[in-house]
Amino acid sequence: MAKELKKTDVVLVGMGWTGGILAAELSKKGYKVVGLERGANRTLADFQMMHDELRFAHRFEMMQDLSQETITFRNNMKMRALPMRQYGSFLLGNNVGGAGTHWNGQTFRFLPYDFEIYTKTVERYGKSKIPEDMTLQDWGITYEEFEKYYDMFEKTIGVSGDETPLGAPRSNPFPTPPMKKTPALELFFEAAKKLNLHPYMMPSANLSENYTNPDNISRPACQYCGFCERFGCEYAAKADPLNTVIPVALNTGNFELRTHANVVKILHQDGKAVGVKYIDTITREEYIQPAEVVGITSYALNNVRLLLISKMGKPYDPNTGTGVVGKNYCYQTFGASAQGFFENKQFNLYAGAGALGACLDDFNGDNFDHSDLNFLHGANISITQTGRRPIANNATPPGTPSWGAEFKKQSIKYANSVLSVGAQGASLPYRHHYLDLDPTYKDAFGLPLLRITFDFEEQDRQLVAYLGEQTEKIMKEMGADIIQAGKTLGPYNIVPYQSTHNTGGAIMGSSPETSVLNNYLQMWDFENVFIPGASAFPHNSGYNPTDTVGALAYRAAEGIDLYLQKGGLLV
């Protein structure tokens, strides 16, 4: 029998960025908050042996244990979905801090176009521009209304950057100046300017200088050690929930962090959540944590899974296009890129930082005319210098065998002489891309795995072809001697790593008919349940999602505060 615990104001399911932000904001306001995390706690002492490429980048030490839980995947509804048995396409975070601990720190705002993508697309090009099976919709909030939440998150983490021409407008400058410009980034700047494009330094949550945030948390400047993505930062220079919001929450005395607490169900009665049921993964004892408000704050995929398992909201049916939970699953469209090999130049590519880069938005969002193009949206084009770790990076010019004497010679010759310009393509929703529960495969607790049905479409192939051309032009201008351009895209394949940018499934919007959440991230059908996170994105933009995820959490914190004061649906 599950043991019922004392009721709290707010219970949070998952302690990554969104859980950490809600914990900090609500405990500062005096609410009693319980944070449930199925993994373990972590401190900086856990990060002292972090410069270990094998352990963290290839053995996925910081990631969820797939033997306990994974997802199943198929490209389309006719295929049998099968479990992701090993890591590949994306990496699921684990432990306190979640995926917010092993990110790169690339911190972009989405464009005003993104928030009203349906309306603005129809306005400029007419309804016929949107493919029939593309379920594009507005977010239920405008950029102007949403801007202040970006500002709050960016001040908390201390984003380093400078002017972003063609990017989203800002009410305040970046909290810290941009990262150091390396010779490789300088080449990109010069080339882009010659092509009449608008390069800028990538906004970075790896601090360019020492910074004290509005919560009086101080963090030191980045040392450019080259171990960000898939690693935790031993300096706390890269913002993560452990070195920003969680200590703030703990310091209020109103927040209790409970680790090894795996939430298996949201409990509800008569259209309201009453609390959550969780299993202590050490003792296997079951507990019920009652609460006034439930915040579902785990990874996007698990948020949707919990709703489906708990039978909350109407599941999406791709055959009729009705229902909402599981709808508009999107990802990120990579593939457009140009790799350049330099014969007589070596760069210090072993050094870097996760968000050390230069980029441009000339071909992102609706910043360019799509009238004669067979796709919508676009991509941020960037060059990054994140640390070329030697197991993962063995680039060789086209035509080189993948092993043997010639491979060794070429991979060593170009180890510090290869640069890459890539495009991070937006991912737009389709009627038949969705999330539901797998009928066959179960997790370690006997609960169904989440099933992903997703593929790349003609939209993605056209986007990659066009953006690939642009990246190639830039690389040519940068003066590479040999260029390998990526301009084609096959089917979505779960094997090669692409990005941990899974979005949608519990989306926000302006109507309960077409979305799970209103613009406070409050469930239309359960007024005391809030779900900030990438699961709320109606589509994914041509940028990294974390800035928007953090901003959504600040919006939800405001919503929960309002709800606890007056109740009811806030919209």
Partner 1 sequence: MVTRREFLKGAGIAIGGMALGGGIVAGIGSMAHPSTKEKHHFKELPEYNKALMFFTPTEHAVIEAAAERIFPKDENGPGAKELLVSYYIDHQLAGAWGNGSKEYRQGPFYPGEPTQGYQGHLNKQQIFRLGIEALQNEAKKRFNQSFTSLEGSQQDEILQAFEKGEVEIKGVSSSYFFSLLRSATLEGVYADPLYGGNRNMEGWRMKKFPGHQMSFADIIDKDEFVVIEPQSLHSQHHK
Map the footprint of partner 1 across residues 187-226, applying CB under 8 A: 210, 212, 215-226
Cα–Cα distance measured from residue 367 to residue 113, given in angstroms and rounded to the nearest whole number: 9
Q: Which is nearer to partner 1, 52 or 469 (CB)?
A: 52
CB of 48 to partner 1, least distance (A): 6
Here's the x/- map for partner 1, 386-425, by CB under 8 A: it reads as --xxxx--x-------xxxx--xx--x--xx---------
CA 193, CA 207: separation in Å to the nearest integer?
26
Q: How far is CA 317 from the centre of its chain?
A: 25
Of the pair 103, 454, the CB lying nearest partner 1 is at: 454
Distance, in Å, from the CA atom of 203 to the CA atom of 201, rounded to the nearest integer, reads 6
* Tokens representing residue 345 in the block: 């130049």
Judged by beta carbon, residue 350 or residue 368, the one nearer partner 1 is: 350
- Give the Cα separation of 335 and 407 in Å (integer): 23
- For residue 110, how far is the Cα from the chain centroid? 12
x-marked contacts with partner 1 along 288-327 as a string, rule CB under 8 A: ----------------------------------------
Q: Which is nearer to partner 1, 44 or 562 (CB)?
A: 44
Q: Within 362-391, which residues bind partner 1 (CB under 8 A)?
A: 388-391
Q: Which of residues 439-458 bind partner 1 (CB under 8 A)?
A: 440-442
Minimum CB–partner distance for residue 400 and partner 1 (Å): 14
Q: Identify which range of 117-125, 139-147, 179-187, 509-517 contacts partner 1 by CB under 8 A.
A: 179-187
Whole-number minimum distance, CB 468 to partner 1, in Å? Answer: 21
Residue 276 or 395 having the CB closest to partner 1: 395
* Beta bridge mates, 11: 34, 294
Q: Is 1 in the site for partner 1 (CB under 8 A)?
A: no
Residue 329 near partner 1 by CB under 8 A = no
Task: Single out the residue of 27, 101, 160, 182 in contact with partner 1 (rule: CB under 8 A).
Answer: 182
Pick between residue 399 and residue 491 the one whose CB is nearest to partner 1: 491
Residue 432 binding partner 1, by CB under 8 A: no
Closest CA to 158 of 227, 190, 103, 206: 206
Stretch that binds partner 1, among 125-133, 178-186, 290-298, 542-550 (CB under 8 A): 178-186
- The residues that bridge with 71 in the sheet, in sequence order, are 450
- Measured from the CB atom, is 261 or 395 closer to partner 1? 395
Closest CB to partner 1 among residues 66, 288: 66
Contact flags string 131-170 toward partner 1, x per CB under 8 A: ----------------------------------------
Task: Select the span of 10-18, 37-45, 136-144, 515-523 touching partner 1 (CB under 8 A).
Answer: 37-45
Nearer to partner 1, 172 or 210 (CB): 210
Q: Which amino acid is at 153?
A: F
Nearer to partner 1, 241 or 295 (CB): 241
- How many whole angstroms separate alpha carbon 137 and alpha carbon 286? 40
What is the amino acid identity at position 288?
Answer: I
Q: Where are the alpha helices (DSSP H) in 414-521?
A: 458-478
462 within 8 A of 428, measured Cβ to Cβ: no
Name 322's bridge partners. Answer: 317
Find the binding residues for partner 1 in span 47-86 (CB under 8 A). 47-49, 51-54, 58-60, 65-67, 70, 73-75, 79-80, 82-86
Count, residues near partner 1 per rule CB under 8 A: 85
Give me the helix-helix angle, 458-478 and 183-194, nearest 10°. Answer: 100
CB of 227 to partner 1, least distance (A): 9
Backbone angles phi, psi at 65, to 5 degrees: -80, 110
Binding positions for partner 1, 460-499, rule CB under 8 A: 491-495
For helices 143-157 and 546-566, give the axis angle rounded to 10 degrees: 110
Map tokens 């084609």 to a residue.
488
Task: List residues with catalytic annotation.
Answer: 501
Q: Position of tokens 């063609």? A: 166
* CA distances, 26 to each of 152, 158, 555, 558 (Å): 14, 21, 12, 9
DSSP string, 126-159: -GGGS-TTB-----SS-HHHHHHHHHHHHHHHT-
Residues found in the chain? 571
Q: Where are the beta strands (DSSP E) in 84-132?
A: none
Question: Is residue 220 a contact partner of residue 233, using CB atoms and an 8 Å limit?
Answer: no
**Pick from 474, 489, 462: which is nearest to 377 by CA?**
462
**Contact at 8 Å (CB) between 402 and 357?**
no
CB of 168 to partner 1, least distance (A): 28
Give the strand pairing for 33-36 and 255-258. Answer: parallel
Contact string 224-263 vs partner 1 (x = CB under 8 A):
xxx-------xxx-----xx--xxx-xx------------
331-350 residues near partner 1, rule: CB under 8 A: 346-348, 350
Stretch that binds partner 1, among 13-21, 145-153, 436-444, 557-565 (CB under 8 A): 436-444
Segment 106-135, which members bind partner 1 (CB under 8 A)? none
Least distance CB 480 / partner 1 (angstroms) = 17
Residue 313: closest CA among 139, 141, 441, 436: 436
- Shortest Å, Cβ 403 to partner 1: 4
User: Using the rule CB under 8 A, is 181 a contact of partner 1?
Assistant: yes
